[in-house]
Amino acid sequence: MAEPRILVVRLSSLGDLVHTLPAVHALRSAFPAAEMDWLVEARWAPLLAGNPDLSAVVRITSRSWRDVCRTLAQLRRRHYDLAVDFQGLYKSALLAWLAGTKQRFGFAPGCARERGAALFYTRRVVPSARHVVEQNLELAIAAGARAVPYRFPIQIVAEARQRIRQQLAAHGVRDYFVLSPGGGWRSKCWPPERYGELYRRLVALPALTGWRGVVNAGPGEHDLVAAVQRAAGANGPVWFPLELAELVALIAGAKFLVSGDSGPLHLAVALGVPVVGLYGPTDPVRNGPFASTDIVVRKARQEETSYRRGNHYSPTMLAITVEEVVTAVERRLGLRS
């Protein structure tokens, strides 16, 4: 019996794409000869380059009506047997439906990010697991996948690795860690001034002698970089612009990463880089580092788990002290028990 043609739908963003990788690997394990394509926003497509679980990566620019029409025509020509929408938005569910797939799997109302998206699915799944990686696997299993060890097949592009080496050498950096103060919405971020103070405390540790920090910032976050560097003082962390493939290479070579609930944090976990995560309004049980060896610093009470998107630093994040983060880094690196 011929294996199905499968369309994976997860358009964005970095952390969410990372969290979907093990579920797609599980689908590939169940259907080793299937044609399986991933529909993704063009800006995030480099993360999937060279993924051995995929037959093709289909790029879309959803803000361009012309590109949406072109991409839908391309998808319809593929005659997919089933689609698995891991995103749970009206946009993603509509794309799976308009692609003409016979079966469409997604999360049930109340579990999908936008409740009405479930109207476009032929099979709706209520996950029982708490972490989003495990929830995605449950959705994949409903579509025919088998439970297999979690795998994050992220490829490091040789050219990107070489460019990072050159940038680090130009700044005189050899051993380094990454500070990532951004995070989409400010209410789940930690202030950049505290990252700067954290940097001063970390490089003063005897075990970290000679190490430097690299600040990662996304588009429109240059003000965060400047604030971190000002607070860090002379010989502070370095910064240079990064494409997505270069971000992967940078994080892959880091000694550790400190960040709030963000894409770079989840990317670091997938790459096996030690992580200290700073959490406030989002629940680390659902969205925290997936590796059990990583450390979360959180002061929020359960009733303060709001997922509320705000433009100001939340009290739950401001409650986290620099001293607590230094201690967490030392514990994660095995410098203290």
pLDDT in tens, 108-131: 999 999 999 999 999 999 999 999
pLDDT tens digits, residue range 303-331?
788 888 888 899 999 999 999 999 999 99
**Residue 37 β-bridge partners:** 7, 56
Q: For 6-142, give the CATH class.
A: alpha beta
Name the β-bridge partners of 258. 179, 276
Cα–Cα dist 213/258, whole Å = 10
The CATH number for 158-332, chosen from 3.50.50.60, 3.30.70.20, 3.40.50.2000, 3.30.360.10, is: 3.40.50.2000
Task: Report which secondary-structure segment, H or E, holds 245.
Answer: helix 244-252
Q: Which of 232, 237, 234, 230 is nearest to 213 (CA)?
A: 237
3-state secondary structure of 283: coil
- Taking only the tens place, the pLDDT of each residue in 11-23 is 999 999 999 999 9
Domain pair 6-142 / 158-332, same fold: yes
Query: Cα–Cα distance between 77 and 149 in angstroms, integer?
Result: 33
pLDDT digits 0-9 by tens, 212-254: 999 999 888 889 999 999 999 999 999 999 999 999 999 999 9
CA 255, CA 177: separation in Å to the nearest integer?
5
- pLDDT, mean of residues 172-182: 97
How crowded is residue 145: how many other Cβ atoms within 10 Å of its Cβ? 23
Task: Please tell me the chain's helix, strand, coil percentages from 3-state DSSP, rounded to the nearest 5.
Answer: 45, 15, 40
The tokens describing 251, both together, are 């994080």
Can you tell me the distance from the alpha carbon of 169 to that of 224, in angstroms, rounded to the nearest whole number? 23
Question: What are the sequence ranges of the domains in the chain?
Answer: 6-142, 158-332
In DSSP terms, 275 is beta-bridged to 257
pLDDT at 1 over 60: no
